[in-house]
Amino acid sequence: MPVSTLNKTIALFLVGILGVAWVVILAWKPLAAFIAAYPELSSPAGSVALGSLSLALAAFVGSIIEDLTDVTVRRLVQAAARRERWARFLGQSRVHASSKYWENEFQQLATKQHLFESALERDFTSRAHVANGIFHAHASNHHIEWVISHYSTYYLVSCYLFVLGLFGLLVPQLIVFLPEPRLIWTLGVLVALLVSAYALFALAVDRYLYSFQALFRFAAFWLSETRVAGYLSNSERTSHGT
């Protein structure tokens, strides 16, 4: 499913800024020493140069995070979304059941009309491609924007999950900065990370499932309408012929 250029750009910079923040936390001492060694960086011209460099670095880091997210977190989200047990664990059993129902309805209707039968029988991705083609060919702009907004949320949240994992790796580095008792604070940080990861993962699964539920539902209704229209047209021809 496509994501609009604007949503991609926003996600790229938002995630890139978080990635740059992770690098700054990890290497704050060398960076502080570098800035102190070049006082001209504190001048207006230096501030502009640092700002421009930061934006370019955010875009670069965002692109790397996007690629890594695509081959890690999103595959996990998609695998969890297609398994009822995981959907139930994440509190998404209803949207999982609804998405599966409309996928089956779409497949049955398309098969009856002999549309892309080999693709429909292949796998979920092939069925989604057929439904996506019908959706973008016949849905109104309002419906398309609505589905893309939900899919874009899944797209962005999955990147947040990857960044959250990176910040989780920093916990050992940050322990020395935590107040006493450090063990309690460390456990609190870990619990906060786990709860955040659970909430983000559940949201990503929800938006992923809803996006495809909307695709299959629209495609199923469109196929039903065309089938009924075909019956009515044949009935009119038969009545005129007699």
Distance CA 66, CA 16 (A): 9
Joined together, the tokens standing for residue 192 give: 């906060």
Residue 77's pLDDT is: 95
Mean pLDDT of the chain: 82
- For the chain, state the CA radius of gyration: 25
Check pLDDT > 70 for residue 231. Answer: no
User: How much of the chain, in percent, has pLDDT values that exceed 70?
Assistant: 83
Confidence of residue 5 (pLDDT cuts 50, 70, 90): low
Q: What is the pLDDT of residues 127-181, one digit of tens each?
A: 899 999 999 999 988 888 889 889 989 988 998 999 888 888 777 766 666 667 7
**Coil, strand, or helix at residue 38?**
coil
Per-residue pLDDT, 56: 82
Six-digit token string for 234: 């044949």
Q: What is the pLDDT of residue 177?
A: 64
Distances (CA, A) of 219 to 142, 149, 233: 16, 18, 21
Helices (H), the chain: 5-26, 28-37, 44-71, 73-81, 84-89, 93-112, 117-122, 124-138, 141-169, 171-174, 182-241
Domain regions of the chain by residue span:
5-241
pLDDT tens sequence across 185-207: 777 878 888 999 999 999 999 99
The pLDDT of residue 232 is above 50: no
CA angle 234, 216, 141 (to 5 degrees): 90
User: 60-99: string of b/e by CB count within 10 Å (b at 16+)?
Assistant: ebbeebbeebeeebbeebbebbbeeebbeebebeebbebb
**Whole-angstrom Cα distance, residue 105 to residue 217?**
8
Q: Residue 106 in contact with residue 219, Cβ under 8 Å?
A: yes
- Least confident range of 43-57, 70-84, 93-107, 208-222: 43-57
Half-sphere exposure of 66 (CA within 13 A, CB side): 20
Per DSSP, 140 falls in state -
Share of the chain above pLDDT 90, in %: 31
Q: Is 213 exposed, middle or buried (0-12, 13-18, 19+ CB in 10 A)?
A: buried
Q: What is the pLDDT of residue 216?
A: 94
**Spatial separation of the C-alpha atoms in residues 173 and 51, rounded to whole Å:** 27
Tell me what pLDDT residue 4 has. 56
The pLDDT confidence band at residue 60, using thresholds 50, 70 and 90, is: confident
